[in-house]
């Protein structure tokens, strides 16, 4: 029997919609201006906290310890997946990978930006295998150090891998197989290792990793960033060790120069720069979460399509969790003559879920251009307005995931005592019922968070429309209305998805 979570109640939806219209109205009443953001709070300058912040970014031990913990957990996942029980909910490989990590990862970006990348076990294992050292720079670095071919230097490879990962996760059903989960984990290590052994820097993190790029784009909305304490010091710097590295510290793996860094997207929080800067001019900073999406992040064509696709795939994720999804899949299978695991039918739906939102976005941008007097380049508008999709995708992704995490993280205690699930049986109805009722968050808290997230995403998307709209279309006025309508419709769709009962992953 399939168990479902209840959705966000109608009264919450109505309240959110009313507030959304009030917010949209307020944007129209506000006269256009270019906002100057405050520079944020530099943690290393704070009393007490500053000392801890400075120490944590300077010592290699903290990061190394966390990396070792992550690698141990990761190897446990592979071993449990290969040799443990095939019952998904009794094997730590599937529960830790899909119910805890994959679900919690996006939520973590909301608090700590790209910090996951700093302790990522795929990169740690690849680095240890290729460099053959736990830390510190090695000379030579055991890589062919080839330049990444120009045609691969974009986020298109990461997007294709993200689509493939979604297909494996939701279509092929890898989430219900500990064995396949372990094989996928091994595949990720092989790809990361090969990339490091062939290309210079961390090309896998920069161009290929679907998880890293997803975190990277979402972290444009994170309230934290690694930035220079004083940009004037960087402007006068002659060594630029943060970029080149030192005798003992590796260079920036994604070729970023700290003095010019404006966005989190490609920073993996690896800490190389903080350890190599000779004058300790780098610190974690607290900042407005909308700053990059509104102003700092530069629009690029490939990145725009990654963000638009991220929104589409996030929505598709929610759609596949609806109890009616399997019926719709079966109807399509009947129509196209598909049988067996219905992979063709699933692939068609996945493709449609990518194409339809993209068409909708392009049409709304087209309307903006049609209304505007200046008729700017279409491509420029598509890239520039793509930042609207980021807060919409991020807020829905987290709202969807906290529901999963709150209701499906149970049973971890018993898994820690028997991670391989030896001698266990599938969950009984009684156990399923207990997990159903035993939630991490009370329903009131969960609904408040979900409603708040929807408003957060919508509000930031309005700010992006307002500020980027002024930059793209000076004296834009009423011509931005289609993008406001777009944000309203997308958030409305997300509210509808959250309102539906959702299939539990157990």
| Contacts with ligand SF4, residue ranges (CB under 6 A) | 226, 228, 233-234, 237, 240-242, 252-254, 256, 258-259, 267-273, 277, 279, 281-282
Q: Is 199 helix (H, G, I), strand (E, B) or coil?
A: strand
Minimum separation from the CB atom of position 501 to ligand SF4 (A): 42
For residue 116, which of 179, 188, 66, 171 has the smallest C-alpha distance? 66
Residue 241 to residue 325: CA distance in whole angstroms: 53
Q: Is 138 helix (H, G, I), strand (E, B) or coil?
A: coil
Minimum separation from the CB atom of position 231 to ligand SF4 (A): 8
Annotate 175-191 with b (16+ C-beta within 10 A) or e (fewer).
bbbbbbbbebbeebbeb
Listed in sequence order, the DSSP H helices in 342-442 are: 343-371, 378-385, 389-408, 412-417, 429-437
Minimum separation from the CB atom of position 387 to ligand SF4 (A): 21
- Which of 117, 165 has the CB closer to ligand SF4? 117
- Which of 235, 416 has the CB closer to ligand SF4? 235
State the pairing for strand pair 41-42/282-286.
antiparallel
- Which of 42, 345 has the CB closer to ligand SF4? 42
- Which of 268, 461 has the CB closer to ligand SF4? 268
- Which of 114, 389 has the CB closer to ligand SF4? 114
Q: What is the DSSP letter of 299?
A: P
User: Which two structure tokens, joined as six digits, stand for 226?
Assistant: 């690694």
Annotate 294-310 with b (16+ C-beta within 10 A) or e (fewer).
bbebebeeebbbbbbbb
Minimum separation from the CB atom of position 302 to ligand SF4 (A): 19
Beta bridge partner(s), residue 502 = 5
Minimum separation from the CB atom of position 137 to ligand SF4 (A): 12
- Which of 227, 435 has the CB closer to ligand SF4? 227
Minimum separation from the CB atom of position 126 to ligand SF4 (A): 15
- Which of 282, 464 has the CB closer to ligand SF4? 282
Minimum separation from the CB atom of position 228 to ligand SF4 (A): 5
Residue 387 to residue 307: CA distance in whole angstroms: 7
In the block, tokens 């004037």 appear at 232
User: Which two structure tokens, joined as six digits, stand for 347?
Assistant: 């692939």
């Amino acid at each position: 029997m399939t168990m479902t979570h209840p959705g966000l109640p109608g009264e919450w939806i109505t309240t959110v919609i009313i507030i959304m219209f009030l917010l949209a109205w307020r944007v129209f009443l506000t006269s256009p201006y270019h906002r100057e953001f405050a520079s944020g709070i530099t943690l290393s300058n704070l009393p007490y906290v500053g000392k801890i912040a400075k120490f944590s970014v300077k010592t290699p031990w903290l990061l190394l310890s966390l990396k070792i913990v992550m690698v141990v957990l990761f190897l446990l996942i592979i071993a449990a997946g290969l040799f443990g029980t095939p019952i998904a909910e009794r094997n730590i490989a599937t529960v830790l990978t899909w119910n805890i990590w994959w679900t919690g990862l996006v939520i973590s970006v909301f608090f700590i930006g790209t910090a996951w990348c700093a302790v990522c076990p795929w990169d740690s294992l690849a680095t240890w295998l290729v460099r053959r050292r736990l830390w510190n720079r090695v000379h030579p670095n055991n890589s062919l150090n080839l330049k990444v071919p120009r045609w691969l230097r974009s986020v298109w490879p990461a997007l294709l891998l993200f689509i493939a990962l979604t297909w494996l996760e939701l279509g092929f059903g890898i989430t219900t197989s500990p064995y396949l989960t372990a094989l996928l984990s091994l595949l990720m290590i092989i790809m990361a290792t090969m990339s490091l052994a062939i290309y210079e820097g961390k090309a896998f993190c920069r161009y290929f990793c679907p998880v890293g790029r997803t975190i990277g784009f979402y972290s444009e909305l994170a309230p934290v960033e690694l930035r220079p304490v004083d940009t004037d010091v960087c402007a006068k710097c002659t060594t630029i060790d943060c970029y080149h590295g030192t005798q003992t510290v590796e260079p920036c793996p994604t070729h970023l120069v700290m003095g010019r860094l404006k966005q989190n997207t490609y920073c993996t929080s690896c800490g190389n720069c903080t350890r190599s800067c000779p004058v300790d001019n780098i610190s974690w900073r607290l900042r407005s979460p909308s700053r990059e999406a509104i102003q700092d992040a530069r629009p690029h064509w490939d990145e725009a399509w990654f963000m638009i696709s991220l929104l589409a795939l996030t929505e598709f994720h929610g759609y596949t969790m609806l109890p009616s999804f399997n019926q719709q899949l079966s109807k399509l299978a009947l129509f196209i003559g598909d049988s067996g695991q219905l992979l063709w039918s699933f692939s068609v739906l996945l493709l449609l879920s990518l194409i339809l939102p993209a068409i909708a976005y392009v049409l709304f941008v087209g309307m903006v251009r049609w209304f505007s007097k200046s008729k700017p380049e279409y491509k420029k508008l598509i890239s520039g307005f793509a930042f609207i999709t980021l807060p919409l995708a991020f807020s829905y992704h987290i709202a969807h995931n906290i529901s999963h995490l709150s209701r499906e993280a149970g049973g971890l205690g018993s898994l820690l005592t028997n991670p391989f699930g030896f001698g266990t049986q599938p969950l009984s109805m009684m156990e399923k019922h207990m997990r159903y009722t035993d939630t991490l968050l009370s329903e009131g808290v969960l609904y408040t968070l979900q409603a708040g997230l929807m408003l957060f995403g919508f509000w930031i998307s309005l700010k992006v429309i307002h500020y980027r709209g002024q930059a793209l279309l000076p004296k834009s006025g009423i011509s931005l209305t289609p993008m406001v309508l777009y944000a309203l419709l997308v958030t409305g769709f997300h509210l509808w998805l959250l309102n539906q009962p959702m299939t539990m992953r157990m």
